[in-house]
Structure 1
């Protein structure tokens, strides 16, 4: 009888081990990405991943839309399409992206930040509070900002030109004394060519009607909610121009000009 009970207990233990081993990792612990930043820099502006499929992997993040039509800001489970000029609307679920990164935001740490006159000072302050520079982080900041300078690029037609050329056509909008949400990602240096090393920020106003890719901003005393992400998943496009694009060149200088913008 005792042997049978021990055998039954071992069977239950083994079953629980197998069940937990088969369970997927919480999305909030993982950053999901579609395509690579170097492919975007090289002019791969069409992807097959829809917003409906993207949002299954997370409700917080950023990216862009097919034909490089504006900026994507994902917050509170909604993907917003910010067009050139700064207007933001919820994106249709069948809209597609050539590049995006999302997670399910699950706050791990809160950082209290002092006022900063620009993004360089703001980022320098924030990076000191990150537990490690070698992890990924999703960062959310809600509040009122003295000013936020954003950009979005109009949709393109083929043949596509490299992104470093197209930023010259970006439409810049400056919001002053604005309430809203900064949606940020930090990626470690070792993902060079795959994602944007360091900080990458997008913005939406409180009404969710305006925003874009952040070129610069100033902050008052704010609270940054930080989600550390220790897993990173990349889904590569299975069709289109990605397979035939030369991704061997070092595009670091192109990325720097794209992220900062020629107006900087």
Structure 2
């Protein structure tokens, strides 16, 4: 199979626009399915040490949905129900995770004064293709952020929709940090979160969570496309015994977008 070139797409002649996102040579690897979380099937996971082997950039959730996960520059952070971020122990489980190696030579695209909807439009205008997965990194100053975390669940495990009804939201103003996430094709709704799915980690690595809303003050956007998608599925008894179906788009949007 021919190798996909990793070279950065050059700027268009006479323009500062770097053009579409470059296609990275590696793969985006995902453990488990969004549909499994929606169905309350998240009793097992991969360990944080394993997640780091899959890449240096990614997102996920903590064992039994006990917080949100951000992997940035090769370090895995867990953000607990109070929004406090700490390095994740190697043996801690992630029942859902997305990870990849993010190229270090990506061209920065300045983004200023954008709400989450406008930022999404900016990301989508720069996609290599709406049929490919894309890693999305935004570093800078945010006028405002609204992030959520969830508390660790007890057995029997509730659905993600039920857990989200009791999520803890944190509002941040004038926060410096990084948005870490992925844009996934509409075809993969239920496997992943279709569209833009972002987590936040503050510059001092002290707080973060799943992004419900954001306003960018002054930041740099970097994108990389992935034509290779590797899926690892759980093999615990609950997952094997639960027949998963495609979740309703409206339910996913409600849970992941905050309504």
Q: Give the aligned partner of residue 65 of structure 2.
A: 68
Query: 2:31 aligned to 21, 34, 50, which one?
Result: 34
Q: Give CA-to-partner distance per residue, 1:113-138, whole Å, 9 cap, x none.
A: 44344211211122111121111111
Moved over 4 A (4+): none
Q: Give CA-to-partner distance per residue, 1:166-207, whole Å, 9 cap, x none.
A: 111000001110110110201111112211111000000001
Distance of 1:28 and 1:182 partners within structure 2: 22
Residue ranges of structure 1 left out of the alignment (5+ in a row): 1-16, 22-26
Query: 1:258 aligned to 242, 252, 255, which one?
Result: 255
Distance of 1:83 and 1:227 partners within structure 2: 28
CA contact (8 A) 1:84 1:153 kept: yes
Distance change >3 Å, CA 177–CA 120, structure 1 → 2: same
Q: Give the aligned partner of residue 148 of structure 1.
A: 145
Q: Using structure 2 for the length normalisation, give the TM-score.
A: 0.87
Q: How far did residue 253 of structure 1 move?
A: 2.2
- 1:55 aligned counterpart, secondary structure: helix
Q: Give the aligned partner of residue 52 of structure 1.
A: 49
Q: How far did residue 28 of structure 1 move?
A: 5.7
Q: How far did residue 248 of structure 1 move?
A: 2.0
Query: 1:171 aligned to 168, 178, 181, which one?
Result: 168
Q: Give the aligned partner of residue 80 of structure 1.
A: 77
Q: Give CA-to-partner distance per residue, 1:229-264, whole Å, 9 cap, x none.
A: 110000111223111112125332221111112xx4
Distance of 1:96 and 1:221 partners within structure 2: 35
Query: 1:95 aligned to 68, 92, 111, which one?
Result: 92
Larger-Rg structure: 1
| RMSD of Structure 2 on Structure 1 (CA) | 2.0
Q: Give the aligned partner of residue 115 of structure 2.
A: 118
CA contact (8 A) 2:60 2:97 kept: yes
- 1:220 aligned counterpart, secondary structure: strand
- 1:214 aligned counterpart, secondary structure: strand
Aligned residues: 239
Q: Give the aligned partner of residue 248 of structure 1.
A: 245
Asked if 1:223 is matched to 2:231, the reply is no
Higher percent of residues as helix: 1
Q: Give CA-to-partner distance per residue, 1:37-89, whole Å, 9 cap, x none.
A: 10011111222311111111111110101111010001011110100121000
Which deviates the most, 113-122 or 190-199? Answer: 113-122
Which deviates the most, 181-190 or 210-219? Answer: 181-190
Q: Give the aligned partner of residue 211 of structure 2.
A: 214
